[in-house]
Amino acid sequence: MEGEPLYSPSEELHVPGSVQSERMWGELTDNISDGSYVSVRRAARTNAFLPIALLVTYFAASFILRLLRGGDLGSDEAEQIRLAHTLQLGYGDQPPLYNWMFYCLSKAFGVSIDTLAFLKNATLLASCVFLGLSARKVVGGRDTAWIAVLCLLSLPAVFLLAQRDLTHSIGAFAAVAFFLDVLALTAERPSAENYGLLGAAAGIGFLAKYNFAIIPVAAVVALLLEPGMRRLVLNWRLMVTNAVGLAVAGPHVYWVVTHLDKATGDTLTKMRGVASHEAFSQLMAACQLVESIVKCSALTLAIFAVVYRAHLRTIFAASSEWTRVIGRMIVISMILVFALMIAVDATLMRPKWISIYFVAFPLYLAFKVDAAGVQVPGAIMKLTALVGAVIFVSLGLVFAGSFH
């Protein structure tokens, strides 16, 4: 216990103001005098242990159950197996990053279901790690980071669609989380090196999923709209970001330009219904987008509301620089997606096509809790239990459904 802080304001209670600081100090000294600090430390250790145990258990179970399902390949998995024998700048209507990752792993461990399952679960775990790290960089509190990680696990695209057949989107989840982590790092230490790393993250994201390109644009607009963060965009180092991003994605961009029909044709065909510029088609596109937004976020929001039900008004009324930036990024991304749908006459939108934009949603919820200064006893344990129940039931259903 010696040398280890019993109480961290950023982790236990984040309420601005000297009065709250005095109250916090008074509560701390009272706890020390009556011996209740032991239970506080025990609760802190439990809050750290349970989410870690959930992550390890879930991804291990996911890996094992995928092996037990055998060689029944989904369409995305079959494509990975088919393309694993060659390394190319481009492969079709999906960017090549996930193919490259699988190619490298298959060279080391062979082309197999084992390798596919390992790559999928390792990439999902990396998404959780990067999102947790981004929360820690901004706030510093472990609880805030765990809220972000657990809410990420509760996204249907992560615990359900990813366990069925997704591949490229899984790589994009990790790329978005990595981009958010580097964005937080750059805001904290705006050096040329970090701006360069931000460009690398943006380039990697484009190589993971083409629609990732909307996220850096949304981030720039969101930062410009926040006076205290505007300096990050109005900085000569942004040229370093652009240069590094172009260097990372440039070779594949050249392939896209020279193979435009192959790179975009199938995607646009899937999104289009009956081509029309009538108002009805635009209304249909809007309804499809709203429905997909609800499907992407409703369950996560419901679980969050159960845990923080007594404080929801306070939480959603609270605001900080980062809640505004992340919230605007999500809204601007949806506006740009809708504009793209109108531009290409798209009348169909599926939740998995916009799921990468909701990787930031758990971060938004976590920052809202921090901005509100809300402290719910046992919140992390409750959130872990609810999310664990949902994701393990879903994993069992996917496993059982594979035999029908």
pLDDT at 386 over 90: yes
In a domain, 395, yes or no: no
Q: Which residue from 327, 325, 357 is spatially nearest to 231, judged by alpha carbons? A: 325
CA 234/CA 29 separation, integer angstroms = 46
Structure tokens, 341: 């749908």
Which amino acid, residue 283?
L
Q: What would the pLDDT profile of 226-242 be if each residue is shown by its tens digit?
A: 999 999 999 999 999 99
Q: What would the pLDDT profile of 46-75 be if each residue is shown by its tens digit?
A: 677 899 999 999 999 999 999 998 777 778
In a domain, 180, yes or no: yes
In a domain, 401, yes or no: no
In a domain, 4, yes or no: no
- Average pLDDT of the segment spanning 204-228: 97
Q: What would the pLDDT profile of 137-174 be if each residue is shown by its tens digit?
A: 999 889 999 999 999 999 999 999 998 888 999 999 99
Q: How far from chain centre, in Å, is Cα 403? A: 30
Q: What would the pLDDT profile of 175-209 be if each residue is shown by its tens digit?
A: 999 999 999 999 999 999 999 999 999 999 999 99
Polymer length in residues for the chain:
404
Rounded alpha-carbon distances, angstroms, from residue 185 to 324, 347, 404: 17, 38, 47
Q: What is the pLDDT of residue 404?
A: 60
In a domain, 345, yes or no: yes
Question: Poorest-confidence range of 44-58, 207-221, 256-270?
Answer: 256-270
Q: Which residue from 83, 52, 75, 170 is spatially nearest to 121, judged by alpha carbons? A: 170
In a domain, 152, yes or no: yes
Question: Poorest-confidence range of 39-48, 105-114, 184-193, 242-251?
Answer: 39-48
CA 383/CA 302 separation, integer angstroms = 11
- Average pLDDT of the segment spanning 250-269: 81
In a domain, 14, yes or no: no
> Which spans in 308-404 are helix H?
312-317, 321-343, 351-354, 361-372, 379-401
Give the total number of structural domains in the chain.
Answer: 1
In a domain, 32, yes or no: no
Which residues have CB under 8 Å from 94's CB, separation 6+?
Answer: 168, 209, 210
Q: How far from chain centre, in Å, is Cα 192? A: 25
Domain holding 143, by residue range, is 44-389
